A and B are shown apart, each in its own frame.
Chain A
Amino acid sequence: MAEEKIKKVSIIVSQGSLDGVYPGLIMANGARMEGIEANLFFTFFGLNALHKKMIKKLRISTVGNPALNMAMPMLKFPITTPFPTLMGILPGVSNFASWMMKNEMERLDVPPVDEFLEMISDAGGNIYACKLAMDMFKLKKEDLVDEVQEVLTVGQFYEKAGGGAILFT
């Protein structure tokens, strides 16, 4: 017997690196593609991805990321090749890794973050920012891209998320 279909999902994005932001965007967009209602709630460092001046500058974290060996096949090395964290601090390494991931995403027809937010918004997905994190980082709504519908408190977020699943990324 078929399982009950998911009708609504609310996804919290709490990280502001390129690799931290994409999973939530892909899940939200994928939900809309299946006719599932989707909310995105950006909090803490996740707000970096909504900032007009930062949205095109998101980067991969090359320090303290012991799974970076997974990027090695993109450079034609085996996936088991370690990526020493000390290399991650060298100038240009994070930029290079970010550039490489962006290229790979483009090849797979995954849009850059700004275009992705626009697509999700056009698809009827709702994009919200967290009030507490906004206050902490001294941000105003006008600092954020136009796709952001509202700045919400945690309580308001739970109201919007009512009756659906919540994912934390």
Chain B
Amino acid sequence: MAEKTLAGKTVQVDDEGFLVNPDDWTEDMAPELAKEIGIDELTDKHWEVIRFMRKDFAEKGQIPSIRRMKNAGGIPTKDLYAMFPEGPAKKAAYIAGLGKPHGCV
């Protein structure tokens, strides 16, 4: 198991760089994680997505799908794809420290 240092804290990550333990994540790690995958600045809209994902994951125990983000989180699919280009579900989960999503939709 690999490790990396984010916001001064050493955390375990899988071989694709996703955090292994969502509980290790803190908000100040998000900007560093975002930079790693080519998102240089997190806007308020990005944060809305990240916070919804964290909250929903805490309540439901699974990473919300794109559909759930739209229907339960009020985040339009178009915006999601614009904010996290080329793979919004994976990229947003990466930044939110939630591990890699395994759903097909």
Residues of A within 8 A of B (CB): 26, 29-30, 32-35, 108-111, 115, 119, 122-124
| Closest-CB distance, A104 to chain B (whole angstroms) | 13
- Interface assignment of B81: CB less than 8 Å from any CB of chain A: yes
For the residues of B in contact with A, the DSSP-based class is helix
Please state if A109 and B67 are interface contacts (CB–CB under 8 Å): yes
CB pair A124–B87 under 8 Å, yes or no, is: no
B45 within 8 A of A: no
Residue numbers in A under 8 Å from B103 (CB-CB): 109
Contacts of B51 in A (CB 8 A): none
A33–chain B nearest beta-carbon distance, Å: 6
Question: Interface digits, B51-71 against A, CB 8 Å rule (1 contact, 0 not)?
Answer: 000000000000001111010
Q: Does B78 count as interface, using CB distance less than 8 angstroms?
A: yes
B interface list, Cβ under 8 A from A: 65-68, 70, 76-78, 81, 85-90, 103-105
B85 partner residues in chain A, CB cutoff 8 A: 35
Bound-complex Cα distance A123 to B85 (A):
10
Known contacts: A109-B103, A110-B105, A122-B76. The answer to whether A32 contacts B67 by CB under 8 A is no
Residue A122 contacts which of B81, B89, B90, B104 (CB distance < 8 angstroms)?
B81
**Is the pair B77, A122 in contact by a Cβ cutoff of 8 Å?**
yes
A119 touches B104 (CB 8 A): no
Distance A122 CA – B78 CA, assembled complex (angstroms) = 5
B53 CB → nearest A CB, Å: 15
Q: Give Cα A26–Cα B65 distance, bound, in whole angstroms.
A: 13
A-B contacts, 8 listed (Cβ < 8 Å):
A26-B104, A30-B105, A33-B66, A33-B88, A109-B105, A111-B67, A122-B81, A123-B78
Which residue on B lies nearest to A29, using beta carbons? B105
* A122 to B69 CA separation, bound complex (whole angstroms): 13
* B105 contact set on A, CB distance < 8 A: 26, 29-30, 33, 108-111
The 4 lowest CB-CB distance pairs between A and B, nearest first, are A35-B86, A122-B77, A122-B78, A35-B87
Q: Is the CB of B86 within 8 A of A119?
A: no
Q: Give the nearest-CB partner of A115 in chain B.
A: B67
Q: A30-B105, A110-B105 are in contact. Are A119 and B70 (CB under 8 A)?
A: yes
Query: For residue A35, which residues in chain B have a CB less than 8 angstroms away from its CB?
Result: 85-87
